[in-house]
Amino acid sequence: MEEKVKKAAALKYERGKDRAPRLVAKGTGPIAEKIVELARENGVEVLEDKELVEFLVALDVGQEIPPELYKAVAEVLAYVYRVTRRRTP
């Protein structure tokens, strides 16, 4: 049985500054694990979406997400916002 290689991508979006979320990190294997570890250590919400990460790791770091990913990324951002809001008193 083939072992799945872990993949991770990190997005950043600054309202009023960015036109669209931008890929700020990506990696596979140990690099992916480090991205997830650093996110969790810094209180950044981590969401697993195998289909979306496949598209994201194909982008160049620093690249804005393409319009065809807007809907999927908007759903992720909405989820993160809801979870973050629940944690904030």
pTM of the model: 0.80
Tens digits of residue pLDDT in 29-80: 999 999 999 999 998 888 888 999 999 999 999 999 999 999 988 888 888 7
The band of 85, judged by pLDDT with boundaries at 50, 70 and 90, is confident
pLDDT for position 83: 80
Q: What is the CATH number of domain 7-87?
A: 3.40.1690.10
Alpha-carbon span 19 to 58, nearest angstrom: 20
Instruction: Map out the domains of the chain as residue ranges.
Output: 7-87
Bridge partners for 27 per DSSP: 8
Please state the rounded mean pLDDT for residues 10-17: 90
Q: Where are the beta strands (DSSP E) in the chain?
A: 7-12, 22-28
Measured in whole angstroms, how far is the alpha carbon of residue 12 from the centre of its chain? 8
Which phi-psi region, left, alpha or beta, contains residue 2 (left: φ > 0; alpha: ψ -120 to 50)?
A: beta
pLDDT for position 77: 81
Alpha-carbon span 33 to 41, nearest angstrom: 12
